[in-house]
Amino acid sequence: MNIFHIVGARPNFMKVAPVLSALQGRQGVTQTLIHTGQHYDVNMSDVFFQQLGIPAPDVNLAVGSGSHAQQTAEIMLRLEPVVLERRPEIVLVYGDVNSTVATVLVCAKLGVRVGHVEAGLRSFDRSMPEEVNRLVTDQLADLLFTPSEDGDKNLAHEGIAPEKIFLVGNVMIDSLVRLLPAARETSRRELPERYALVTLHRPANVDDSARLKGILESLLEVNRDLTVVFPAHPRTRKRIVDFGLNAGQLRLLDPCPYVDFLGLQSRATVVITDSGGIQEETTYLGVPCLTVRENTERPITVSMGTNVLVGRDPEKLRSELARVLAGKAKKGSIPPLWDGRTGERIADVLTKLS
């Protein structure tokens, strides 16, 4: 069985690594890793590949940045001849980026089976491009690997046949479990014992000057009581400069490689974010997470985990932070099957198909 893995952005790398590893050496399985080049930060991509033990891609489509339509179309144009030439039995896509939906569109038209790793997640907010990608991908995919029971329920509600759905757990946690010991050894001696770790990158938060200004003002208030450490996404840093906003005494850092950032998360007093993956990682780590969004496609991090949605309400952000500082942070638990063995369960399903 020839299996293609399609990755295009950093969150995909954490998800593909355990599946590649689990399939390695399985009888009758050959693997092809295709990097679409969707993420424009090539140096950071290379570091992620090294830290996660991912081999160099067999094919790099080198698509680069662009609008959603441009990027999706370019991936389709460059991927189709590769699929036609190499004829995979199944193609695995990961998460909800443009590379994911572009791949499933190409493969569906060519009659090639697709497996979607991290299927069934829904924010129910179609203003998010990722939500559109998730909906389209899951309707066209042949195998849907879900991280939690809410994913199964969402797919059933959308009419997906139950025999296509496999509850396997959260594959990203596999990478976290493997690399956490190394992450905890990473040194950040210049940081205080207690700090708030911040990540922001979603257009709804950083592309609107008034919205971004309000968030920064809230973070500056937080910084009076707790040092704010802010590895700033290039997009976010550019917006701060373009809008002429004041980041004051916030500790702005360059984006961190995965192991370094995982170390920062594991030691943080609280994490303030708009990232989906970080909501999951903090739940596993037991670190309080305040999500600067009105909704989440990962509701299990709220119902079972340490995540609290604070939306766009600065007062709620302040009150939830006060609870953390007072030792009254939300206590969570680790969801079922978030145990570091999801890659093996996916590999088991795939090998039974051959």
Looking up tokens 């199944």, which residue turns up?
90
Give per-residue burial for 56-87: e unless 16+ CB within 10 Å, then b. Answer: ebebebebeeeeeeebbbbbbebbbebbeeee
- Non-local (6+) Cβ contacts of 263 within 8 A are 183, 184, 185, 186, 188
Q: Is 201 a catalytic residue?
A: yes
Contact assessment for residue 245 and residue 270, using Cβ atoms and an 8 Å cutoff: no
Query: Which one of the listed residues 68, 116, 201, 233 is annotated catalytic?
Result: 201
- Non-local (6+) Cβ contacts of 208 within 8 A are none
The number of CA neighbours under 13 Å toward the Cβ of 109 is 12
> Among all residues, which ones are annotated catalytic?
201
